[in-house]
Structure 1
Amino acid sequence: MTNSNRAALLAVAAVAAVLIATLVIVQMLGGEEQPAASDQDAAASFEPPPPGECVEPPAMPASPQQFDEVPDQALAEDAVWTATVTTNCGDIVMELDGTKAPQTVASFLHLAREGYWDGSPCHRLVPSGIFVLQCGDPTGTGTGNPGYGFGVENAPADAAYPRGTLAMARSTDPESNGGQFFIVYDDSQIPDNGGTGYTIFGKVTEGMDIVDRIAESGVGGTLGPEAPNQPISIVGIEVEKA
């Protein structure tokens, strides 16, 4: 064998050795790095809890989304919609009335479609005087909003909010409606808070038993003294015309 042939064979052997060593290292480290799962992937892989039970709530979003403009009322299309709210305690189905509260329903549809509420906890339970479970703040603090606000629609003149009512939460500013909402789990007379009341934009049609279980757990959860003792969080929301 000539010196040139011997050198060529040695070079090929060296390359093969490098390739084999690289393959071994990759296998030891678990192969190529896989991309992190998105929130949508997490929602798709969510395993529903057994009836009457809750599972571990999803992690809250690290950076809640913010939007520059109030969604166009035309999104509500003067129609009634169905929202299926998947939670770690089961599904809550809501009817959204775009004929009576078009701006509110348009906002709800927009935020649901954008996944704004995915991973957000229901951060407040009021068990006396009024009876509501408040949700819709991805920060879990009660101060979060989607970056915009709008006014009150369809508030009851008698301040009566029957069991199953779905209404918007806000501060004393009537223009502070945004992403937070509440479910009334027992008939309540809720003070006007600035003289304008709270927007009623729908009702719960299925899943009030879940809300009742959360209410029965009382307060004092990990998010604070007003949080439900049994954590409940939104995994995702699907909306469609009724």
Structure 2
Amino acid sequence: MAASSRSAREAKRRVHQMEAKRELRRHQDKRRKRDNIIAGAAGGAALVLALVLQMTVFASNPTEDEFKAAEAGLSTPSATPTPAASNGENIPKPETAAGKTFTGDLKLNRGTLGVELDGTKAPQAAAVFKSLADQNFYAGVSCHRLTTADSFGVLQCGSKTGDGASDPAYTWGPLENTPTDNKYPAGTIAVARTGNNAYGNGTQFFIVYKDTVIPADSAGGYTVVGKVTSGLDVVSGIAAAGIKPGTSATDGAPVESVTIDSFSLK
């Protein structure tokens, strides 16, 4: 009887482990589709630990040893690719924007925002977004992510695929004009990037519609490239409509589809 009981307990433990692994893999699949999204503000030590484990130990399907380590509250450092030390030839030079201020309109299907980009504080970022706007890159591109937490309110746009995936052929750095206090005031326009990579910027950006705190990761904060000068209430209205059912209550796709009609800068 004792041996049978031990076998049953062991079988039950293995079933629990397999279910936990499947859940982790589901989280990984979601993260791969949104590998260029900014980090959300997480509350509570347990949630922070879970996210750290998910994004480090379980960057790929976990081994049995990794799973046991996670269960024990341990972390196993994962290998981090060394980011490129310079930009590719397809990235515009910061000199094209240095010392300049670009103003224009970001026209969404929900309304128009007046914007201003700062080529003095963020010349590389300003050069990139001026170039993309001039190429009409953003026409028809969606704003795929909305957050509505108390201290984390942003609308994220610019993924060509519409699901948050980045373009591996268009990445750049370095970070510029990052807040030292992790605070992004309402109206901020900042650059989304892959985690822990100062050269993981791409075509995506986020608009902060209420004062927001975003913790820095190992690479630092997020480049503040400019600000909204008018029409921020358009984004607040999008946020008020809420998030699509079936996703997180405070982080997911806007319930009302949001697309960019045009993005013009001069």
Bin for the TM-score computed over the shorter chain: 0.5 to 0.7
Map 1:68-87; keep pairs closer than 5 Å. 69-87=90-108
Deviations 1:176-225 (A, max 9, x none): 11110001111111110224100001100011110000010111179997
1:193 paired residue number? 217
Is the CA contact (8 Å cut-off) linking 1:100 and 1:201 kept in structure 2? yes
In 1: Cα distance, 2:133 partner to 2:158 partner: 10
Match of 1:137 among 123, 134, 159: 159
Which residue in the other structure is 2:126 paired with? 105
Deviation per residue, 1:65-90 (Å, 9 max, x gap): xx962111122142111021111112
Q: Take 2:247 and 2:140, find their aligned partners in 1: how far apart are those partners?
A: 14
Using the alignment, how far apart are the partners of 2:181 and 2:218 within structure 1? 14
RMSD: 2.1
Q: Retained in 1: the 8 A contact 2:175–2:223?
A: yes
Q: What is the CA–CA distance in structure 2 between the aligned matches of 1:223 and 1:73, rounded to whole Å?
A: 38
Secondary structure in 1 matching 2:193: coil
Instruction: Report the counterpart of residue 109 of structure 2 in structure 1.
Output: 88
Residue 156 (structure 1) aligned with residue 179 (structure 2):
yes
1:107-147 Cα shifts (integer Å, max 9, x gaps): 00000011111100100001114111000112111013373
Amino acid at match of 2:184: Y
CA contact (8 A) 2:145 2:155 kept: yes
Counterpart in 1 of 2:203? 179
Within the candidate set 226, 234, 237, 2:260 is matched to 234
Which structure is higher in helix share? 2
Q: Which residue of 1 aligns with 2:11?
A: none
Counterpart selection for 1:169 from 166, 171, 192: 192
Aligned counterpart, 2:144: 123
Contact 1:75 1:109 (8 Å CA) reproduced = no
Which has the larger displacement, 213-222 or 127-136?
A: 213-222
The TM-score normalised by the length of structure 1 is 0.68
Which of 228, 245, 249 is the matching residue for 1:204?
228
Q: Distance in 2 between matches of 1:170 and 1:215?
A: 22
Unaligned runs of 5+ residues in structure 2 are 1-87
SS at match of 1:167: strand
Aligned length: 174
Greater shift, 135-144 or 208-217, is seen at 135-144
8 Å Cα contact 1:134/1:183 also seen in 2: yes
After superposition, the C-alpha distances for 1:21-76 in whole angstroms (9 at most, x for unaligned) are xxxxxxxxxxxxxxxxxxxxxxxxxxxxxxxxxxxxxxxxxxxxxx9621111221
Indicate conservation of the 8 Å contact 1:120/1:136, yes or no: yes
- Pair member with larger Rg: 1
Relative to 1, partners in 2 of residues 1:78 and 1:202: Cα closer, same or farther, differing over 3 Å?
same
CA distance in 2 between partners of 1:201 and 1:126 (Å): 20
Q: Does 1:147 align with 2:169?
A: yes
Unmatched 5+ stretches in structure 1 = 1-66
Q: What is the identity, as a one-letter code, of the residue corresponding to 1:147?
A: A
2:170 partner amino acid: Y
Contact 2:166 2:202 in 1 (8 A): no
CA distance 1:230–1:221, shift in 2 (3 Å):
farther
| Structure 1: 4+ residue segments shifted above 4 A | 221-225
What is the CA-CA distance between 1:161 and the residue it aligns to?
0.4
